[in-house]
Amino acid sequence: MGNSLGGGTAVRFALDYPARAGRLVLMGPGGLSINLFAPDPTEGVKRLSKFSVAPTRENLEAFLRVMVYDKNLITPELVDQRFALASTPESLTATRAMGKSFAGADFEAGMMWREVYRLRQPVLLIWGREDRVNPLDGALVALKTIPRAQLHVFGQCGHWVQVEKFDEFNKLTIEFLGGGR
């Protein structure tokens, strides 16, 4: 199970160690699709890059607001909590390294959309229709190329499906993973 870059990490693991990977639940996963219609870099990637260059509370809040459809979820307390974690030297080093990997000339080489046809396990793709980090159009490539994929799209929902549609997400995921029997 993984969201965003964590989804890409789960896919990489499943591709590299297929016998050790079971069903995959991927929420707006990064690295396994391409944007068909949305601009690249996306608004979310641009906001994260801006924060990594100028790590201010305001820049982080702007990034967090891109993550959700319901802006009421981005409270001052959440921003403070996330800022405390994201502005440590270690976090900033990791964020900047990630940004460099996305901006390099060989960026496309790390994208997994050319490989995901090798996934043999069931895959549940979950996307927020209003995702501005990994836009919905990228789900179409993943759905088409992953043999046992199914896609569920939540309306009025951004990149944090597991937060914005908590109850529905949990029900769908538990059922997919076999816990609803």
Instruction: Walk along the chain (181 residues) and give the pLDDT tens digit of each residue.
Output: 999 989 999 999 999 999 999 999 999 998 887 888 888 889 999 999 999 999 999 999 999 999 999 999 999 999 999 999 999 999 999 988 877 766 666 666 668 888 999 999 999 999 999 999 999 999 999 999 999 999 999 999 999 999 999 999 999 999 999 975 5
Count how many domains the chain has. Answer: 1
Q: Residue 168: how many CB atoms within 10 A of its CB?
A: 14
The helix-helix angle for 57-67 and 43-53 (nearest 10°) equals: 160
Examine residue 132 and state whether it is found in any structural domain, yes or no: yes
**What global pTM score does this model have?**
0.91
Is residue 181, in this structure, part of any structural domain at all? no
Length of the chain: 181
Catalytic positions, written as ranges: 159
**Residue 38 is part of which domain span?**
2-176
**Furthest-apart CA pair in the chain: how many Å?**
49
Output the domain CATH number for residue 87: 3.40.50.1820
